[in-house]
Amino acid sequence: MKSLMEGYERFREGYWREHAATFSTLAREGQSPPAMVIACADSRVTPEIIFDCAPGEIFVVRNVANLVPPYAPDTGNHGTSAALEFAVTALEVRSIVVLGHSGCGGIRALVQSTPGEGKDFIASWMKIAEPARCLVCDAPNAPLDEPARCAACELASIRVSLENLMTFPWIASRVTSRQLTLAGLHFDVETGLLKEVD
């Protein structure tokens, strides 16, 4: 906590002073970010830094393993789906990016299918990416070593999330009418390289 508050002091003296006018405009006029980014909660993968964005430029939701669940309008606590609904129907973002990354702990847990670990919430959350795990790990030519399986699963799970995005009716209709574009990206934490997932 102490280091966080020290960081805040630096922010207040530095970044805030330099960008006070931007914050003031954003406070007065509200936000209208052109893009939404769904990223992992992993502390090494910070969308605002990776895309060099200022406040107000991207609407970000972060969760374990940057997953998008399928459309399920029920009474569950759908934090990611609620953020999507707000970004698409209220803010009218023009693009949604699913940002995956190398060395994702959530994906590694899924690939390892570690029994008992994270059984309160993580295991059921990671079931969203189960089709990706099946595709990679149950394939006849599945990579034998775990890092390769995880890397392939990171890419496959981004594709699953992109497919799930299209199950939201207000996303699918906007994609069809070209008001909205979807993209998948994978960030390599070690090299800093960003790769598009087709």
Output the six-digit token pair for 190. Answer: 């070690």
- Please, are residues 39 and 66 in contact by the beta-carbon 8 Å criterion? yes
Q: For residues 133-162, which are near Zn ion according to CB under 5 A?
A: none
40 binds Zn ion (CB under 5 A): yes
Stretch that binds Zn ion, among 3-11, 32-40, 83-91, 125-133 (CB under 5 A): 32-40
Closest separation between CB of residue 124 and Zn ion, Å?
17
Q: Which of 42, 63, 158, 187 binds Zn ion (CB under 5 A)?
A: 42
Closest separation between CB of residue 47 and Zn ion, Å?
12
Relative to beta strand 95-101, strand 58-63 is unpaired
Other Cβ atoms less than 10 A from the Cβ of 86: the count is 14
Residues 6+ apart with CB under 8 A from 145: none
Closest separation between CB of residue 103 and Zn ion, Å?
8
Strand ranges inside 64-132, DSSP E: 95-101
- Please, are residues 180 and 96 in contact by the beta-carbon 8 Å criterion? yes
Strand ranges inside 82-145, DSSP E: 95-101
Q: What 3-state class would DSSP assign to 47?
A: helix
Output the six-digit token pair for 159. Answer: 């594709």
Closest separation between CB of residue 151 and Zn ion, Å?
12
Q: Which of 104, 152, 156, 165 binds Zn ion (CB under 5 A)?
A: 104
Sign of CA dihedral 134, 137, 140, 141: positive
Q: For residues 53-82, which are near Zn ion according to CB under 5 A?
A: 65
Closest separation between CB of residue 44 and Zn ion, Å?
9
Q: Cβ closer to Zn ion: 97 or 104? A: 104
Q: Cβ closer to Zn ion: 40 or 165? A: 40
Instruction: Tell me the site size for Zn ion, rule CB under 5 A.
Output: 4
Q: Cβ closer to Zn ion: 96 or 180? A: 96
Return residues touching Zn ion (CB under 5 A). Answer: 40, 42, 65, 104
